């Protein structure tokens, strides 16, 4: 697949502090790439370098085939940016903000008007298009800047904490829009520290800690990779002795928790098959069976703690 | 169209200028300040009993009006937009720093010209005759560009606190008025004053306005125009270069 973002040895130094320390990664066409990290890890600085807002101190960043240092305008023409803080002009109306964006991206007036109407309808602001942005709620402002970032139908969208501090309605609307955009072919670079959001939305995530990348992989693979011992929770319709379960193939231990057994296994697939066979052979019907995989939160915490220590 | 090309960037600069006019200039207080300040300054000098001829006063007033209005708002735009994060929005758009600066300059140039025309009309209404109208128009256009560049130059320090810039702006602008032949004719200035006046673009504009109304001038007219043009070019290039260097520190 074509790499839409190619970051190589990206570095940013503020005074004596290295905010981003020689990080390298690629984002492929059509991908939703989540960029995760604790506060101050270097997420926003990385996004600002990739979008040409601040200069790189070392390394290279190629966006849609354009070097962000030597061809910033050509690169910016093809991507949109949704920053963490709403930065629409509050003294202008939503319509005026969109028309300004249309002009800054070189759109014909009629095209800008058509896109503005469509986008305001899409984000639910068409009826309030002539109202000044200063009267908008945080969620409305965030939806507006998403519309502003999409005015020129970008191939790539950068979003920095797009749902931070928003109500459920606005959050769901934005996430649904991002999914739709991605299905239509837009590549998305999403900075967030909302693990659930990244887990549900992203094809791959990169975790940054103290300016360095500590892991890049698919969310499910990251979760599995951090814990080699898997947990399975199972309950039967009658009492089962614990030692009967510990002797099963793939099972390394069994602990009673209420009416359930929490089983540890070094091979989840083998253990589940053994439990099913045990259930059939002993006439003990399985009532519930859950695999307790580590969450992305667990993966994130483990990886960032390992990097810290 | 190539977005990085000259015409693409000029279109974007014009969009920024329209935005500036709408947000920063077409405000009641700004317009009132722009109209009333020159009128009251004129009345202060007219009634001050210094027995200066009306043509001298109006020339100085036109010079002062253009200088103050073209540099009134532009120094604060970058700090305002930096603190509101709208500058980051512009920086992430396909617009060069030069186009952003040029857009701000266009807005302040138009504002300066608009208010200065009112001052000229006041002069004409008081019975002053305009001897060289085309020259006055050319001088106003050129000086408006020059003073706008000065306004943007004042915005170079990368602070996002507008009051810091406005203080710096006043510290530089007011002394400049006193050495530019507005209150004291250049021919009556001491030699040290003349040395300073040579380095002020306002001196050449005031000289051109005086020539337009009275036919008198201190420097040769074409020298006035050439020096103003050089000041405009140099200040614009320097302003754009410095903003390009300091812009990332505002983000």
Concatenated DSSP letters of B84-149 = TTHHHHHHTSS--HHHHHHHHHHHHHHHHHHHHHHHHHHHHHTT---S-HHHHHHHHHHHHHHHHH
In which element (H, E) is residue A191 found?
strand A187-192
- Identify the residue whose tokens are 């499910």: A220
Contact A83 B12 (CB under 8 A): no
Let me know how long chain B is: 251
Q: Per-residue b/e over B100-129, b at no fewer than 16 CB within 10 Å?
A: bbbbbbbbbbbbbbbbbeebbebbeeeebe
- At residue A306, the pLDDT reads 66
- At residue B38, the pLDDT reads 66
**Residue B75: which of B46, B102, B104, B52 has the closest Cα?**
B104
Contact A53 B91 (CB under 8 A): yes
Domain definitions of chain A by residue range:
3-224, 228-293
Say which residues have a Cβ less than 8 Å from residue B207's Cβ, sequence separation at least 6: B181, B186, B217, B218, B219, B224
What are the tens digits of pLDDT across the range B77-131? 999 999 899 999 999 999 999 999 999 999 999 999 998 998 888 888 888 888 9
- Identify the residue whose tokens are 């309030």: A128
The whole-angstrom distance between B153's CA and the closest CA on chain A is 21
Give A-chain residues touching B8 at CB under 8 angstroms. 106
Contact A83 B19 (CB under 8 A): no
Give the three-class secondary structure for B81. helix
Give the three-class secondary structure for A35. strand
Say which residues have a Cβ less than 8 Å from residue B233's Cβ, sequence separation at least 6: none
Query: Mean pLDDT score of chain B, rounded to an integer?
Result: 89
Query: Given a cut of 90, is residue B244 above it in pLDDT?
Result: yes
* Most A CBs within 10 Å, among B88, B89, B99, B158, to test the A interface: B89
CATH (one of 3.40.50, 3.30.70, 3.90.198, 3.30.300) for A228-293? 3.30.70
- At residue A195, the pLDDT reads 77
Q: How far apart are CA A267 and CA A260, in angstroms?
A: 20
Residue of A nearest to B80 (CA): A89
Concatenated DSSP letters of A228-273 = SSEEEEEEESS---HHHHHTSTTEEEEEEETTEEEEEES-HHHHHH
Q: Please give the ipTM for the structure prediction.
A: 0.89
Q: How confident is the model at residue B18 (pLDDT cuts 50, 70, 90)?
A: very high
Contact B94 A104 (CB under 8 A): yes
- Identify the residue whose tokens are 């000259």: B6
Q: How far apart are CA B68 and CA B150, in angstroms?
A: 11
Give A-chain residues touching B22 at CB under 8 angstroms. 91-92, 96
CATH class as words, domain A3-224:
alpha beta
Residue B251 domain-assigned? no
Give the three-class secondary structure for B216. coil
Query: Given a cut of 60, is residue B49 above it in pLDDT?
Result: no
To the nearest whole percent, how much of chain B has pLDDT over 70? 97
- At residue A240, the pLDDT reads 84
Our separate counts of H helices and E strands in chain B read 11, 0
List residues of chain A with CB under 8 Å from any CB of chain B: 48, 51-55, 71-74, 76-77, 81, 83, 85, 87-92, 96, 100-101, 103-106, 148
Q: How far apart are CA B155 and CA B103, in angstroms?
A: 14
Question: In this structure, what token pair is assigned to residue A257?
Answer: 């928790």
Number of domains in chain B: 1
Mean pLDDT, 10 residues at a time, over chain A (309 residues)?
91 92 94 90 93 94 95 95 90 96 96 96 93 92 94 95 84 90 95 82 90 87 68 88 84 87 86 91 90 69 67
Say if CB A145 and CB A98 are below 8 A apart: no
Q: Do domains A3-224 and A228-293 have the same CATH topology?
A: no
> Cα-flanking dihedrals φ and ψ of residue A237, to 5°?
-85, 0
What is the span of the domain harbouring residue B28?
6-246
């Amino acid at each position: 697949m074509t790499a839409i973002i190619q970051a190589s040895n990206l570095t940013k130094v503020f005074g004596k502090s290295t905010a981003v320390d020689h990080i390298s990664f690629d984002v492929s066409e059509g991908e939703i790439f989540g960029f995760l990290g604790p506060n101050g890890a270097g997420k926003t600085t990385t996004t600002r370098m990739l979008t040409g807002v601040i200069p790189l101190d070392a390394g290279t960043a190629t966006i849609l085939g354009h070097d962000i240092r030597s061809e910033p305008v050509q690169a910016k023409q093809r991507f949109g940016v949704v920053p963490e803080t709403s930065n629409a002009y509050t003294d202008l109306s939503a319509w005026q903000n969109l028309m300004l964006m249309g002009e800054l991206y070189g759109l014909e007036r009629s095209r800008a008007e058509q896109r503005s109407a469509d986008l305001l309808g899409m984000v639910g602001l068409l009826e309030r298009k002539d109202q000044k942005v200063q009267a908008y709620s945080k969620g409305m402002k965030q939806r507006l800047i998403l519309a502003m970032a999409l005015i020129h139908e970008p191939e790539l969208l950068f979003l920095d904490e797009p749902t931070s501090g928003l109500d459920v309605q606005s959050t769901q609307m934005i996430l649904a829009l991002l999914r739709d955009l991605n299905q239509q072919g837009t590549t998305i670079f999403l900075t967030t520290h909302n693990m659930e959001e990244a887990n549900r939305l992203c094809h791959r995530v990169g975790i940054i800690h103290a300016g360095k990348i500590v892991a890049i992989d698919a969310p499910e693979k990251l979760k599995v990779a951090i814990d080699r011992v898997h947990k399975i929770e199972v309950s039967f319709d009658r009492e089962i002795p614990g030692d009967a379960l510990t002797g099963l193939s793939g099972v390394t231990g069994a602990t009673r928790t209420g009416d359930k057994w929490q089983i540890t296994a070094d091979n989840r697939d083998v253990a589940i098959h053994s439990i099913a066979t045990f259930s059939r052979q002993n006439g003990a019907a399985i009532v519930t069976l859950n695999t307790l995989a580590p969450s992305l939160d667990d993966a994130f915490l483990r990886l960032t703690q390992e990097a810290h220590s | 169209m190539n977005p990085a090309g000259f015409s693409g960037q000029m279109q974007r600069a014009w969009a920024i200028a329209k935005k500036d006019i709408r947000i920063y200039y077409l405000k009641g207080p700004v317009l009132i300040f722009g109209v009333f300040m020159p009128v009251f300054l004129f009345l202060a000098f007219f009634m001050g009993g210094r027995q200066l001829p009306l043509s001298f006063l109006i020339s100085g007033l036109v010079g002062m009006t253009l200088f103050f209005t073209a540099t009134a708002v532009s120094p604060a735009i970058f700090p305002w937009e930096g603190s509101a994060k709208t500058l980051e929005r512009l920086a992430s758009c396909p617009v060069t720093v030069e186009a952003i600066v040029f857009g701000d300059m266009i807005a302040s140039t138009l504002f300066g010209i608009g208010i200065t025309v009112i001052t000229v009309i006041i002069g004409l209404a008081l019975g002053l005759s305009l001897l060289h109208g085309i020259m006055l128009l050319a001088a106003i256009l050129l000086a408006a560009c020059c003073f706008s560049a000065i306004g943007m130059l004042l915005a170079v320090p990368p602070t996002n606190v507008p009051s810091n810039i406005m203080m710096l702006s006043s510290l530089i602008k007011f002394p400049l008025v006193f050495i530019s032949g507005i209150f004291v004719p250049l021919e009556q200035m001491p030699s040290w004053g003349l040395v300073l006046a040579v380095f002020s673009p306002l001196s050449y504009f005031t000289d051109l306005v005086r020539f337009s109304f009275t036919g008198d001038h201190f420097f040769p007219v074409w020298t006035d125009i050439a020096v103003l043009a050089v000041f405009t070019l140099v200040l614009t290039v320097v302003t754009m270069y410095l903003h390009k260097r300091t812009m990332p520190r505002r983000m």
